[in-house]
Protein backbone atom coordinates (compact mmCIF):
# COMPACT_ATOMS: atom_id res chain seq x y z
CA UNK A 1 0.00 0.00 0.00
CA UNK A 2 1.13 3.58 -0.61
CA UNK A 3 2.25 5.93 2.15
CA UNK A 4 -0.84 7.96 3.00
CA UNK A 5 -1.12 8.18 6.78
CA UNK A 6 -4.66 6.77 6.89
CA UNK A 7 -6.41 4.14 4.76
CA UNK A 8 -9.85 2.83 5.58
CA UNK A 9 -11.21 -0.56 4.58
CA UNK A 10 -14.24 -0.42 2.27
CA UNK A 11 -16.42 -2.95 0.51
CA UNK A 12 -19.18 -2.86 -2.08
CA UNK A 13 -19.44 -3.12 -5.84
CA UNK A 14 -17.66 0.22 -6.38
CA UNK A 15 -14.80 -0.49 -3.98
CA UNK A 16 -12.18 -1.29 -6.62
CA UNK A 17 -8.99 0.41 -7.69
CA UNK A 18 -10.61 1.65 -10.89
CA UNK A 19 -14.31 2.36 -10.38
CA UNK A 20 -14.41 4.70 -7.39
CA UNK A 21 -11.58 7.10 -8.41
CA UNK A 22 -13.04 7.25 -11.93
CA UNK A 23 -16.13 9.00 -10.57
CA UNK A 24 -14.69 10.65 -7.43
CA UNK A 25 -10.97 11.24 -8.09
CA UNK A 26 -10.23 12.66 -4.62
CA UNK A 27 -10.70 9.11 -3.35
CA UNK A 28 -7.64 6.91 -3.84
CA UNK A 29 -8.08 3.12 -3.65
CA UNK A 30 -5.46 0.44 -3.19
CA UNK A 31 -5.83 -3.32 -2.82
CA UNK A 32 -3.92 -5.46 -0.34
CA UNK A 33 -2.44 -8.86 -1.18
CA UNK A 34 -5.82 -10.50 -0.57
CA UNK A 35 -7.68 -8.08 -2.86
CA UNK A 36 -9.32 -6.12 -0.02
CA UNK A 37 -9.89 -2.44 -0.90
CA UNK A 38 -8.66 0.44 1.25
CA UNK A 39 -9.53 4.06 0.52
CA UNK A 40 -7.66 7.25 1.36
CA UNK A 41 -8.88 10.84 1.03
CA UNK A 42 -7.22 14.24 1.64
CA UNK A 43 -9.72 15.03 4.41
CA UNK A 44 -8.36 12.13 6.48
CA UNK A 45 -4.68 13.07 6.38
CA UNK A 46 -4.68 15.96 8.94
CA UNK A 47 -6.53 13.88 11.56
CA UNK A 48 -4.63 12.48 14.53
CA UNK A 49 -7.08 10.17 16.31
CA UNK A 50 -8.33 6.93 14.80
CA UNK A 51 -11.86 7.60 16.10
CA UNK A 52 -11.91 10.89 14.17
CA UNK A 53 -10.71 9.08 11.06
CA UNK A 54 -13.47 6.51 11.38
CA UNK A 55 -16.17 9.16 11.89
CA UNK A 56 -14.97 11.28 8.97
CA UNK A 57 -14.63 8.22 6.72
CA UNK A 58 -18.21 7.25 7.56
CA UNK A 59 -19.38 10.70 6.50
CA UNK A 60 -17.33 10.57 3.30
CA UNK A 61 -18.76 7.19 2.33
CA UNK A 62 -22.32 8.33 3.07
CA UNK A 63 -21.92 11.39 0.88
CA UNK A 64 -20.12 9.46 -1.84
CA UNK A 65 -23.03 7.03 -2.03
CA UNK A 66 -25.47 9.93 -2.40
CA UNK A 67 -23.38 11.58 -5.11
CA UNK A 68 -23.04 8.30 -6.99
CA UNK A 69 -26.82 7.83 -6.81
CA UNK A 70 -27.36 11.23 -8.45
CA UNK A 71 -24.86 10.29 -11.15
CA UNK A 72 -26.73 6.98 -11.65
CA UNK A 73 -23.67 4.89 -10.80
CA UNK A 74 -25.71 1.92 -9.68
CA UNK A 75 -25.82 0.43 -7.19
CA UNK A 76 -24.11 3.01 -4.94
CA UNK A 77 -23.35 0.50 -2.20
CA UNK A 78 -20.03 1.49 -0.65
CA UNK A 79 -19.70 0.31 2.94
CA UNK A 80 -17.07 0.98 5.60
CA UNK A 81 -15.17 -2.10 6.73
CA UNK A 82 -13.86 -2.92 10.19
CA UNK A 83 -10.18 -1.97 9.69
CA UNK A 84 -8.23 1.29 9.51
CA UNK A 85 -4.62 1.17 8.37
CA UNK A 86 -2.24 3.76 9.92
CA UNK A 87 1.25 4.40 8.56
CA UNK A 88 3.26 5.61 11.56
CA UNK A 89 6.61 6.15 9.81
CA UNK A 90 9.61 4.07 8.91
CA UNK A 91 7.45 1.72 6.90
CA UNK A 92 5.62 0.55 10.03
CA UNK A 93 1.89 -0.07 9.73
CA UNK A 94 -0.70 -0.44 12.50
CA UNK A 95 -4.17 -1.88 11.90
CA UNK A 96 -7.04 -0.62 14.07
CA UNK A 97 -10.21 -2.70 14.20
CA UNK A 98 -13.78 -1.64 14.90
CA UNK A 99 -16.95 -3.65 15.32
CA UNK A 100 -19.06 -3.24 12.20
CA UNK A 101 -22.20 -2.63 14.26
CA UNK A 102 -20.57 0.16 16.32
CA UNK A 103 -22.12 3.59 15.83
CA UNK A 104 -20.06 6.69 15.14
CA UNK A 105 -21.05 10.34 15.29
CA UNK A 106 -20.99 12.16 11.96
CA UNK A 107 -18.97 15.39 12.20
CA UNK A 108 -20.08 18.64 10.59
CA UNK A 109 -19.56 18.82 6.85
CA UNK A 110 -16.28 20.29 5.67
CA UNK A 111 -16.26 23.14 3.18
CA UNK A 112 -15.89 21.93 -0.38
CA UNK A 113 -12.74 22.46 -2.40
CA UNK A 114 -12.94 25.14 -5.13
CA UNK A 115 -14.69 24.02 -8.30
CA UNK A 116 -12.49 22.73 -11.08
CA UNK A 117 -13.24 22.31 -14.73
CA UNK A 118 -13.93 18.81 -15.98
CA UNK A 119 -15.21 17.36 -12.72
CA UNK A 120 -17.51 14.38 -12.94
CA UNK A 121 -21.19 14.66 -12.08
CA UNK A 122 -20.60 12.65 -8.90
CA UNK A 123 -17.82 15.06 -7.88
CA UNK A 124 -20.04 18.09 -8.48
CA UNK A 125 -22.87 16.56 -6.47
CA UNK A 126 -20.54 15.70 -3.60
CA UNK A 127 -18.99 19.19 -3.59
CA UNK A 128 -22.40 20.88 -3.46
CA UNK A 129 -23.57 18.54 -0.69
CA UNK A 130 -20.60 19.72 1.38
CA UNK A 131 -21.71 23.36 1.27
CA UNK A 132 -25.50 23.04 0.88
CA UNK A 133 -27.21 21.16 3.70
CA UNK A 134 -30.51 20.86 1.83
CA UNK A 135 -28.85 19.35 -1.24
CA UNK A 136 -26.93 16.99 1.03
CA UNK A 137 -30.19 15.86 2.64
CA UNK A 138 -31.75 15.36 -0.80
CA UNK A 139 -28.97 13.15 -2.17
CA UNK A 140 -28.84 11.16 1.07
CA UNK A 141 -32.52 10.35 0.62
CA UNK A 142 -31.97 9.66 -3.08
CA UNK A 143 -29.42 7.02 -2.20
CA UNK A 144 -31.98 5.24 -0.01
CA UNK A 145 -34.92 5.76 -2.35
CA UNK A 146 -34.13 3.35 -5.20
CA UNK A 147 -37.66 2.92 -6.61
CA UNK A 148 -39.40 3.64 -3.28
CA UNK A 149 -42.12 6.12 -4.22
CA UNK A 150 -42.63 7.74 -0.76
CA UNK A 151 -38.86 8.34 -0.50
CA UNK A 152 -38.77 9.78 -4.04
CA UNK A 153 -41.65 12.08 -3.06
CA UNK A 154 -39.59 13.31 -0.09
CA UNK A 155 -36.63 14.07 -2.38
CA UNK A 156 -38.94 15.83 -4.85
CA UNK A 157 -40.31 17.98 -2.03
CA UNK A 158 -36.79 19.02 -0.99
CA UNK A 159 -36.02 20.05 -4.58
CA UNK A 160 -39.34 21.87 -4.98
CA UNK A 161 -38.87 23.93 -1.79
CA UNK A 162 -35.23 24.74 -2.56
CA UNK A 163 -35.92 25.89 -6.13
CA UNK A 164 -39.44 27.34 -5.94
CA UNK A 165 -40.07 28.12 -2.27
CA UNK A 166 -42.19 26.44 0.36
CA UNK A 167 -45.47 28.07 -0.72
CA UNK A 168 -45.04 27.67 -4.47
CA UNK A 169 -47.62 25.89 -6.60
CA UNK A 170 -46.92 22.23 -7.38
CA UNK A 171 -46.46 23.11 -11.05
CA UNK A 172 -43.86 25.81 -10.33
CA UNK A 173 -40.99 23.64 -11.55
CA UNK A 174 -42.70 23.48 -14.96
CA UNK A 175 -42.85 27.27 -15.05
CA UNK A 176 -39.08 27.33 -14.48
CA UNK A 177 -38.53 24.83 -17.28
CA UNK A 178 -37.20 22.07 -15.04
CA UNK A 179 -39.94 19.57 -15.97
CA UNK A 180 -43.08 19.49 -18.06
CA UNK A 181 -46.54 19.96 -16.57
CA UNK A 182 -47.43 16.46 -17.71
CA UNK A 183 -44.40 14.95 -15.94
CA UNK A 184 -45.23 16.74 -12.70
CA UNK A 185 -48.91 15.81 -12.80
CA UNK A 186 -48.08 12.17 -13.53
CA UNK A 187 -45.51 12.10 -10.74
CA UNK A 188 -48.02 13.49 -8.25
CA UNK A 189 -50.59 10.97 -9.49
CA UNK A 190 -48.11 8.17 -8.80
CA UNK A 191 -47.56 9.44 -5.25
CA UNK A 192 -51.31 9.66 -4.63
CA UNK A 193 -51.86 6.21 -6.11
CA UNK A 194 -49.44 4.76 -3.56
CA UNK A 195 -51.48 6.41 -0.81
CA UNK A 196 -54.80 5.32 -2.40
CA UNK A 197 -54.12 2.12 -4.40
CA UNK A 198 -57.70 1.93 -5.64
CA UNK A 199 -57.43 5.26 -7.47
CA UNK A 200 -57.22 4.94 -11.25
CA UNK A 201 -54.74 7.47 -12.56
CA UNK A 202 -52.24 7.89 -15.36
CA UNK A 203 -49.11 6.70 -13.53
CA UNK A 204 -45.38 6.84 -14.02
CA UNK A 205 -43.48 3.68 -13.24
CA UNK A 206 -41.30 3.99 -10.12
CA UNK A 207 -38.16 3.79 -12.27
CA UNK A 208 -39.40 6.68 -14.45
CA UNK A 209 -40.23 8.66 -11.29
CA UNK A 210 -36.68 8.05 -10.06
CA UNK A 211 -35.28 9.28 -13.38
CA UNK A 212 -37.34 12.48 -13.10
CA UNK A 213 -36.20 13.18 -9.54
CA UNK A 214 -32.58 12.44 -10.46
CA UNK A 215 -32.82 14.88 -13.39
CA UNK A 216 -34.09 17.58 -11.03
CA UNK A 217 -31.16 16.96 -8.69
CA UNK A 218 -28.72 17.27 -11.58
CA UNK A 219 -30.30 20.61 -12.56
CA UNK A 220 -30.00 21.76 -8.95
CA UNK A 221 -26.33 20.77 -8.83
CA UNK A 222 -25.63 22.56 -12.13
CA UNK A 223 -27.44 25.70 -10.94
CA UNK A 224 -25.87 26.04 -7.48
CA UNK A 225 -22.40 24.57 -7.93
CA UNK A 226 -19.94 27.38 -7.07
CA UNK A 227 -17.77 28.55 -9.97
Q: What pLDDT score does 143 carry?
A: 73
Q: To 5 degrees, how large is the angle CA 156–CA 183–CA 188?
A: 55
Query: CB-based contacts of 59: which residues, under 8 Å, 6+ apart?
Result: 106, 107, 109
Q: Is the pLDDT of residue 160 over 90?
A: yes
Q: What pLDDT score does 31 carry?
A: 85
Q: What pLDDT score does 107 carry?
A: 32
Domain ranges of the chain: 6-97, 132-224
5 vs 143, which has greater pLDDT?
5
Q: What pLDDT score does 75 carry?
A: 56
Contact 58, 64 (CB under 8 A): no
Give the dihedral of Cα atoms 40, 42, 44, 48; nearest 10 deg.
Answer: 120
- How sure is the predictor about 99, in pLDDT bands with cuts at 50, 70 and 90? low
Q: Is the pLDDT of residue 100 over 60?
A: no
Give the percent of the chain with pLDDT over 70: 79
Q: Is the pLDDT of residue 141 over 60?
A: yes
- What value does the mean pLDDT take over residues 149-161? 90
Q: What is the CA radius of gyration of the chain?
A: 20
Give the least confident one: 7-21, 53-67, 89-103, 174-188.
Answer: 89-103
Preceding omega of 75 cis (within 30 degrees of 0): yes
Q: What pLDDT score does 102 carry?
A: 39
Q: What pLDDT score does 63 carry?
A: 82
- Element housing 203 (H / E): none
List the beta strands (DSSP E) in the chain.
6-11, 28-31, 37-40, 79-89, 92-97
Q: What pLDDT score does 6 carry?
A: 92
Q: Is the pLDDT of residue 219 over 80?
A: yes
Amino acid sequence: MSEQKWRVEVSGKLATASLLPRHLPRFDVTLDSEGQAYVSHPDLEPLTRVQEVRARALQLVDKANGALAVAMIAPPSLMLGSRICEHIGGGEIVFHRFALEEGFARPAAKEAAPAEEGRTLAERALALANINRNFGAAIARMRAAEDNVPELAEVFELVHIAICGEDADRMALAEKGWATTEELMTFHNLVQARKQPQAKTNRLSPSMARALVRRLLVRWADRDMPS
